[in-house]
Amino acid sequence: MKQVIILLAGISMYFTGLAQTDSTGKERESDTIRVGGMIIIKKKSRDKDKEKEDEAKTYNRKSKNSRVSTNWWIVDLGFANYDDKTNYTGNSFAPGLDKDDFKLRPGKSVNVNIWAFMQKLNISHNVVNLKYGLGVELNNYRYKAPIKFNTNPTQVVYDNTKNYSKNKLAADYITVPIMVNFNFTPHRKRGFGFSIGASGGYLYSSRQKTITNTDGKEKERNDFDLRPWKLSYIGELSLGPVKLYGSLASQSMFEKGLDQTPYNFGLRLSNW
């Protein structure tokens, strides 16, 4: 996780560098210097008999609004769950288990997204925009029942030999979202509107973390037959200072065995 955050920080610094304009390259070759939104014009003194310093005039230049705006380090705080449509009859992946054994603790099954950046490209009068970005999607599924994922091969079993105080499956993705944004109040910083689109994610880390009365804290790292790629339908609702988000995967997060389609929803902390 730390390596991914460092990578995202490096990418954001790279884009920040691209956004800056070097105004010193031809400073000595011209009497006109541009610094940000200012224009400085140097003029030689006309009085040849007196030694005077060069005159300088500064003008403020109004720059046109850029078609692209950037928002750095956006955080989503929400809840994670899934729609379970698994046929448990004769299922060798989870023998003897049923849908109730995979129920989650709603308040403790959480989703946290950290977006290194999001950009908004103006398509039409700042009302219709294209939004895209890059970040990590962190999902924690907290089970109520004492179920455990065994590996080689992957199989879920009911473990009633221990007392579980914590039992969660974590699935983390590097994700790229792309949305069409409709902004009904383009002249307001915190406006009203919505966005719809899709996101593609790559599974870079998955693990089951348990805390029991006999073994204490344990962590098993494995893919557990989770799909390496995740395609989701995503949406965002802007209500002034309050922003909500949601996502629904296009298919089960498992390649085989379980048919569980994940979805997330929550609050988005963003400057837009």
Q: For Cα atoms 137, 138, 144, give the angle at the middle one, nearest 5 degrees.
A: 140
Position 22 pLDDT exceeds 50: no
Q: Which residues contact 263 (CB under 8 A, 6 or more apart)?
A: 80, 81, 82, 83, 246, 247, 248, 249
Query: Per-residue pLDDT for 23 more than 70?
Result: no
177: preceding bond cis by omega (within 30 degrees): no
The reported pTM is 0.79
User: What pLDDT does residue 239 have?
Assistant: 97
pLDDT in tens, 241-268: 999 999 999 999 999 999 999 999 999 9
CA–CA distance, 97 with 155 (Å, rounded to integer): 11
Q: Say what the pLDDT of residue 220 is.
A: 98
- 145, 270 Cβ separation under 8 angstroms: no
> Across the beta sheet with 55-60, what order do the strands follow?
32-35, 38-43, 55-60
Q: Tell me, what DSSP letter sits at residue 56?
A: E
The Cα–Cα gap between 34 and 19 comes to 16
Q: Tell me if residue 203 falls in helix, strand or coil.
A: strand
